[in-house]
Amino acid sequence: MSDKRIGIDWRSESLAAQALGRIDAGTGAISPPIHMSSTFRRSPDYAPERTYIRDENPAFDQAEALLAELEGGEAAMLFASGMAAASAVFMSLKPGDHVLAPTLMYWSLRNWLTGYAREWGLEVDLVDMTDLAAVRDGLKPGRTRLVWIETPGNPLWSVTDIAAVAALAHEAGARLAVDSTVATPVFTRPLALGADLVMHSATKYLNGHSDLCAGALVTRAVDSEWSRLRLVRASLGGIIGSLEAWLLLRGMRTLFPRVRQQAATALDLAQRLAAHPAVASVLYPGLPDFPGHAVAGRQMAGGFGGMLSIRVRGGRDAALAVAASVSLWQRATSLGGTESLIEHRASIEGKDSPVPGDLLRLSVGLEHADDLYVDLDRALRGI
């Protein structure tokens, strides 16, 4: 959004705070009306226009436009969940197409890709996306249609070089999609680094209050692939509810201060926990000795996110005991809300999980850093 009188473009923070500054023409309302209608009146000549909620919905427009602005994309689409958005990307491909995805990534999507998507006819290979030679070897030029990455990636927060993987993917004739749920547009803009699509679980930081389920895709260009994705959303019906779209827009107004504060607290905790005698290691891209730190420094501007993991001395039982004895941290899955969450991922994922048994995943909320540290410190010391 630009102000033509003074010839400047407002920054992302300003656009988010005002939800693009759109004022309802009929009433002057600063907070937008909620459109609940499922159908829209047609003109007598049946001109192409809005018709039905599953195809297009005015209740989505403002949140989609804001997210497209924040990511620097041409358009965005909301979905009923992050999984609906991600699976739409894969369902827009054709049986026999080859895709490359990370060995470690969001668990439910990895399961879907190696189970359902393979049965459905996609050829899915998993590689370590932090190893560019492995990515190059995994690509099948002319056959690989899509490379999927997640950075920082669950739950080790491994950092993938978006620009480098985009170059490799494009050389092989493939497109690059980035699950940017954890980085958020506050810290990373994958499209500017060469990605073609950005995916978000808007359930997490974009909404930020652990009170709705939503997903989103943002595209670099409105092209034939984007039209196909729109068709997938309309046909499979994974659309977000009108009320949820409104709530998501409200959540996005505070995205920047929330996420910056969460990242500052996460860095503080990562530094303190790295020196804790009961902690074997801290996984956080903001720590200088973290393997992906240099790449993160290049592609994440202003912070390293609000997610970290710790590996507890004493193994699985010790980790479970810590998670069992915290009081301020809440034992729950998900991430990106105002309340801090702790989770023993290996227990959630079951016996085939590649996640170490001594690992606890931490989603840092908006509580005071000292309170969060004291609570963890007590649990780690078994007090």
Ligand X SMILES: *Cc1c(COP(=O)(O)O)cnc(C)c1O
Q: Which residues are at the interface with ligand X (CB under 6 A)? A: 81-83, 106, 109, 150, 154, 179, 181-182, 201, 203-204, 213, 215, 335
Nearer to ligand X among residue 144 and residue 207 (C-beta):
207
Q: Is the dihedral of CA 71, 258, 4, 66 positive or negative?
A: positive
Candidate list 110, 161, 175, 179, residue with the active-site label: 179
Give min distance, CB of 215 to ligand X, in A: 5
Pick the closest to residue 357 from 155, 157, 160 (CA basis).
155
Mutual angle of helices 369-381 and 255-274, in 10-degree steps: 40
Alpha helices in the chain (DSSP H): 12-17, 58-71, 82-91, 107-112, 118-120, 132-138, 162-171, 184-187, 224-236, 242-252, 255-274, 293-299, 315-325, 345-349, 369-381
Give min distance, CB of 315 to ligand X, in A: 26
Q: What are the contacts of 131-138 at 24+ separation with CB within 8 A?
A: 132/161, 132/164, 132/165, 132/168, 135/100, 135/165, 135/168, 136/168, 138/100
Give min distance, CB of 63 to ligand X, in A: 15
Give min distance, CB of 190 to ligand X, in A: 13
Nearer to ligand X among residue 85 and residue 122 (C-beta):
85
Give min distance, CB of 228 to ligand X, in A: 21
Q: Active site includes 54? A: yes
Nearer to ligand X among residue 84 and residue 380 (C-beta):
84
Helix, strand, coil percentages, rounded to 5, for the chain: 40, 15, 45
Question: What Rg do the C-alpha atoms of the chain give, in angstroms?
Answer: 21
Pick the closest to residue 361 from 147, 182, 108 (CA basis).
182
Q: Active site includes 106? A: yes
HSE (side-chain half, CA atoms, 13 Å) at 292: 22
Nearer to ligand X among residue 139 and residue 199 (C-beta):
199
Rounded to whole angstroms, the Cα distance separating 329 from 344 reads 13
Give min distance, CB of 39 to ligand X, in A: 27
Nearer to ligand X among residue 106 and residue 329 (C-beta):
106
- Which residue minimizes CB distance to ligand X? 82
Q: Active site includes 204? A: yes
The one-letter amino acid at 216: A
Q: Active site includes 205? A: no
What residues does 150 pair with on adjacent strands?
A: 179
Candidate list 22, 50, 54, 272, residue with the active-site label: 54
Candidate list 145, 175, 189, 204, residue with the active-site label: 204
Nearer to ligand X among residue 279 and residue 307 (C-beta):
307
Q: Which residues are catalytic?
A: 54, 106, 179, 204
